[in-house]
Amino acid sequence: MADMMQFDLVSPERRLTSTEASAVQIPGADGDFTAMVSHAPTIATLRPGIVTVQGAGGEEKFVVTGGFAEVTPDGTSVLAERAMPAGEVTQDVIDEFVASAVAARDNASPEMVDELSKQVGDIALVAAELGLQAKQS
């Protein structure tokens, strides 16, 4: 199809998907955006959120905790710190994500506390979107 681009999502543990997509919604640290065919070249830092992929087979959602997205006119690649299909995210997974983010925030230098506090809040938003709860400390 002419209106499709290559999309790849990988984490250090595994390749989560490599597929043709018409659009990819990306949770950018500077704001969410949608990558499509012929998008201007972009490199963006990710915040914790949900990557939504529109493809020939329908919509797929993946939870990411951070990383980078590279968008070119021909495709999009997401290199995630941690990622998993949204359907695999359980309350235990959210609890672990929150515990890691809270520990990082509590051990951060003063100039990093605000950024890490935002990550805790972003994880809480992901939890709410998935119908789960983020128990913040």
Residue among 42, 43, 38, 44 at smallest CA distance from 73? 38
Q: Convert the pLDDT of each residue in 83-136 to its tens digit.
A: 999 999 999 999 999 999 999 999 999 899 998 899 999 999 999 999 999 886
Q: Average of pLDDT values for 67-90?
A: 96
Q: Is 87 helix (H, G, I), strand (E, B) or coil?
A: helix
Pairing status of strand 75-80 against strand 5-10: parallel
Pairing status of strand 67-72 against strand 33-36: unpaired
Cα Rg of the chain, angstroms = 15
pLDDT value of position 137: 59
- Kindly report the pTM of this predicted structure: 0.92
113-129 and 91-106 helices, crossing angle to 10°: 170
Structure tokens at 110: 């003063």
